[in-house]
Amino acid sequence: MPICIPDTLPAVDVLRNENVFVMASSRAKTQEIRPLKVLFLNLMPKKIETENQFLRLLSNSALQVDIQLLRIDQRESKNTPIEHLDSFYCDFEDIKHQNFDGLIITGAPLGKVQFDDVVYWSELAKIIDWAKEHVTSTLFVCWAVQAALNILYGLPKLTREHKLSGVYWHNITDPNAILTRGFDDTFLAPHSRYADFPSDIIRQKTDLVILAESATTGAYLMATKDKRMAFVTGHPEYDSFTLANEYFRDLNAGLNPDIPENYFPDNNPDHQARSTWRSHAYLLFSNWLNYYVYQLTPFDLNTRDLTID
C-alpha cells in the first residue's frame, strides 16, 4: 500500500518518478481503509529534501500511511519557501487534541548548540511529553535522539571532538528483536553528527534496550521495552549523495572536513558514491510501522488506551 500525501506536495512527482507507490489524498478518500496516521516533525532546514527521504522509506510497506507534516520553528526559513510551509505544514496548536499512530522527529544541524540555546527547545519538550498520551510509537532520529535522551532521562549533551561522518558497520545485539527482524548480523548505516551515544552510558543511565551498536558509532538503534519509543542515532534516510553534498559544502566553506569514512569508492571524493545502506533503511522503517505502530495501535484512535502491556 502507498503513503498518502497532499496532491500538490513536491514529493509526489519526485517519488513517482522513482517508481515509488504514492497515493494522493484525493484518491485515498475514496478507499474504505483506516490508514495509519503518522505525524512528521521536520527539524531539518532543507525540508523538501528531508520530506522526500523519509517519505520514500515509509512507502515500502503493505500499510497505507497518512502523513501530517508538522513544524515548530516559526522563524523565516532560508532553505524552504514560506509558501511550501504554509501549504503543507501545520502547527502544534492545530493538532494537539488529536491522536496519532506514529510520530517521527528528524535530526537537526544543532550538534554544537547547547539545548538551552535551541529556540524551540521548550516546544520540542512539550511535544515529546504530549506524545506519551497521544501517539502509539515515536521514532527519534539523530539529533532528536540526543534531545529526547535529555528530556526523558536527563542525560547531558555529549559531544564528540571530531564529527562522525561516513558509513559504518553495526552489529545486531539481539537476533530475536522484532525491530531488527530480517536484518543481517552486521549492516551498514550512515552517520553525520557531533552527538555522542556511548553504549555503556545508555545502559547505565536509561532503561532502553540497545538493539544495534558498533565500537565506532556507539549505540545506533535503541527502544523502550513497551515499543512506545525507538531511537536511531544515524541517518538511514540519507540519499546516496547526501554525505557528499555535506562534504563538498564544508570543503567549499573552508572548513577542511575529513572525507566521510567508507563512503567514496577508494576513499576518493572524485568517485561517485553509492548507497550501501538502502535495504537496511527500508526494512527498519517497515518494521517500525508494522511491529511498533500497526500491531499496537487501536483501530479507533479516539477511544484509545495508550497503557500498552
Q: Is residue 237 among the annotated active site residues?
A: yes
- Catalytic hit among 51, 134, 191, 237: 237
Q: Does 235 qualify as catalytic in the annotation?
A: yes
Give the CATH number of domain 3-159+171-236+277-303: 3.40.50.880
Whether 133 is catalytic is no
- Is 137 annotated to bind a ligand? Reply is no
Q: Who's near 203: CB < 8 A, 6+ residues apart?
A: 210
Put simply, whether the predicted model's pTM sits higher than 0.75 gets the answer yes
So what's the pLDDT on residue 308?
42
Tell me whether residue 249 is annotated as binding: yes
Catalytic-labelled residue, pool 142, 170, 191, 280:
142
* Residue in 282, 280, 277 with CA at minimum distance from that of residue 243: 277
Which residues of the chain have a pLDDT value below 50?
Answer: 1, 27-28, 30-32, 307-309
* Ranges of each domain in the chain: 3-159+171-236+277-303
CA atoms within 13 A on the CB side of 2: 16
d(CA 121, CA 157): 13
Q: Which of 107, 129, 102 is nearest to 53 (CA)?
A: 107
Q: What is the pLDDT of residue 3?
A: 57
Q: Which three cell numbers stand for residue 242?
A: 547526501
Say if residue 163 carries a ligand binding annotation: yes
Q: What is the pLDDT of residue 78?
A: 83
pLDDT at position 306 is 52
Q: Which of 170, 191, 235, 280 is catalytic?
A: 235
Please tell me the predicted confidence (pLDDT) of residue 81.
87
